[in-house]
Structure 1
Amino acid sequence: MEWNTDAKELLDELVSPIPIFARPMAKKGIEKKIIEVAEEGSAVTKDDVIKGYILASPGKMQQRAVALLKAKKVDLTPYEDLLEETK
């Protein structure tokens, strides 16, 4: 599956705070969730990355995920239902 450039860059930014020794494994898990979210046959978009990142961040990690997305100036309004579902 192809990734839009801005989607790949956002994913790299989102995993950058993860300790270097754990980053490859964490990134792989997040990518898997993003690909599950993305529509088959279409390129992975920034929206897919945000949804997949939220879904791949369980429990307390979701609070950190939300804080990081807000720090990146991501409007979370369209994802409020998803955030409620995953609490």
Structure 2
Amino acid sequence: MNDIFMWGIALWTFIMLGAMTIGGYFMFRKFLKRMPKEDGYSELDWQEHYIDKALPLWNNEARHLLNELVSPVPELFRDVAKERIAGRISKIALDEKADNITLDHIMKGYIIATPKRDHKFMKKKLDDMEIDYSPYEDLFQYADDEKQKFSIFEQTEKISSRS
């Protein structure tokens, strides 16, 4: 009986260490995103800035479309993904001096904000929603890539010059 109890404690210890390691990894990533860059603002500060500035440009249809596009993301990560995509969309719309957020802005922001490893799922969702993404095929090269670390807003200058 004593051996079973000791094995249970050992198993519980490994499970807890594993959970703490995984949680620490995600906390450290969030910490790095909060670190200020050369301009004194972090990636998340800029993201919030663009979302706040473009808030009047978002109509109910655009909000609903964004919610639908992020619906395949697991609920635990959905809010983070939505804010990241909304930050990109907002920056693109502000750079183009748009009066409101359109499908064009949403598609551009959605594509470059979605990591390359998730493009298969993204394309499936767009096909399910019957949204033609062929005019935006060239934007897939600017999507987030875990191997290339860059500011989440660097690509918007590249895609503005594409039009």
Alignment of 1:61-80 (within 5 A): 61-80=118-137
Give per-residue Cα distances to partners, 1:15-58, cap 9 Å, x unaligned.
Answer: 11212221111111110111122123521112111111100012
**Post-superposition shift, 1:74?**
0.4
Q: TM-score, normalised by structure 2?
A: 0.48
Structure 2 CA distance for aligned equivalents of residues 56 and 71 of structure 1: 19
Higher helix share goes to which structure?
A: 2
* Alignment correspondent of 2:58: 3
Structure 1 unpaired stretches of 5+? none
**Equivalent AA in structure 1 for residue 138 of structure 2:** D
The aligned residue for residue 86 of structure 1 is 142
Report sequence identity in percent: 38
Taking structure 1 as the reference length, the TM-score comes to 0.84
- Output the aligned Cα RMSD: 1.6
Question: Is the radius of gyration larger for structure 1 or structure 2?
Answer: 2
Cα deviation, residue 14, structure 1? 0.7
What is the match of residue 24 of structure 2?
A: none
2:85 alignment partner AA = I
Quick one: structure 1 residues 23 and 78, their matched pair in 2 at CA, closer, same or farther if it must change by over 3 Å? same
- Aligned partners of 2:100, 2:88: CA distance in 1, in Å? 14
Whether the 8 Å CA contact 1:54–1:66 is kept in 2: the answer is no
Q: Which runs of 4+ in 1 moved over 2 A?
A: 39-42
Report the number of matched residues: 86
1:35 aligns with 2:78: no
Distance in structure 2 (CA, Å) of the matches to 1:41 and 1:72: 25
CA shift for structure 1 position 4? 3.0
1:7·1:44 contact (CA, 8 Å) conserved in 2? yes
Q: 1:33 to 1:59 in 2, by over 3 A?
A: same
1:86 Cα offset (Å): 3.2
